[in-house]
Amino acid sequence: MSAKNGQQALVDQWRDILALHARTQCELDRALGPHGLCASDFEVLDVLAAGGAYRVQEISEQVHLSQSALSRLIARLEKDGLVERGLCPEDRRGVRVALTRKGRALHGTVLPAQRAVLTRMLADTGGREGC
């Protein structure tokens, strides 16, 4: 019976993590929405703000989106003038993505709101409030 209780504790812990993630994503979307962004948009902007230009594959490793979802997201950010794509100098088959001035400015504007949501949701209270 003890092993079964241990397994259930792991399942419960996993479900708590998933629930916290869902609530946090919802709160991020709510905070970033007035700026025309969702949480995934901001994650891409945040990665680019921290490190300059990245290959799409390098971004996907950090934001945990599929290659096709990330490609669509980057296309939308490019259409909005927030990022620009260019050929990778090391491998002309690759594409590099970088922030534009507009993207860097928007990132700076919304960064405090994003960090405030993370602080509130991931504090010791476990972010029980939310959506």
For the cut 90, the answer to whether the pLDDT of residue 24 exceeds it is yes
User: Would you state the pLDDT for residue 20?
Assistant: 95
pLDDT tens-place string over residues 93-131: 778 999 999 999 999 999 999 999 999 999 865 556 556
Paired with 37 in beta bridges are none
Over range 19-23, report the average pLDDT: 95
Helix (H, G, I), strand (E, B) or coil at 68: helix
User: Would you state the pLDDT for residue 27?
Assistant: 96
- Does the pTM of the predicted model rise above 0.95? no
What is the dihedral angle through the alpha carbons of 109, 113, 115, 116, rounded to the nearest 10 degrees?
A: 150
Domains and CATH numbers, the chain: 2-121 (1.10.10.10)
User: Would you state the pLDDT for residue 127?
Assistant: 53
In the sheet with 83-87, reading across from the earlier edge strand, the strands are 54-55, 95-99, 83-87
